[in-house]
């Protein structure tokens, strides 16, 4: 077998393998769909949503500039939050933000501290 025929055979085998793996992935995904993540979280968790979370929360309606004000959230992480919201739906619990790549317990703690502060301090 010549060198060019051997390379052509290897290329065909690689292409067919890629097609077979892609087909297997889609068949598996169709057979075992992912459960609705919010339904599963809320059935298993007795935690009530915080005041700062809900349909009108900044995490559910804000753009990247609005999210950039939270500690530990820069432009890239803010864009990931927006993208995650567009793909997965609204964030109902603060822990939903942990699904965003780059948000860990420390970042979430900083966000929670900001949400716990009153918007308008009481005057004495």
pLDDT at 41: 47
Whole-number Å distance between alpha carbons of 124 and 122? 6
Contact 97, 108 (CB under 8 A): yes
Whole-number Å distance between alpha carbons of 46 and 36? 17
| Average pLDDT of every residue of the chain | 75
Backbone angles phi, psi at 68, to 5 degrees: -65, -15
The residue-averaged pLDDT of 28-50 equals 54
* pLDDT (tens digit per residue) in 46-99: 444 444 555 567 777 778 888 888 888 889 998 998 888 888 788 877 788 888
Write the DSSP symbol of residue 91.
Answer: -
- Judged against a pLDDT cut of 80, whether residue 117 lies above it is answered with no
Whole-number Å distance between alpha carbons of 62 and 68? 10
């Amino acid at each position: 077998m010549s060198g060019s025929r051997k390379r052509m055979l290897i290329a065909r085998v690689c292409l067919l393998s890629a097609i077979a793996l892609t087909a297997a992935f889609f068949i598996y995904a169709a057979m075992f769909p992912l459960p609705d993540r919010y339904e599963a979280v809320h059935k298993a968790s007795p935690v009530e949503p915080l005041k700062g979370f809900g349909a009108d929360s900044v995490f559910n309606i804000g753009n990247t500039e609005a999210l950039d004000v939270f500690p530990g959230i820069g432009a890239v992480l803010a864009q990931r939050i927006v993208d995650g919201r567009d793909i997965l739906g609204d964030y109902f619990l603060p822990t939903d933000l942990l699904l965003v790549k780059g948000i860990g317990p420390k970042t979430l703690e900083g966000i929670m501290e900001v949400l716990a502060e009153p918007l308008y301090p009481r005057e004495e």
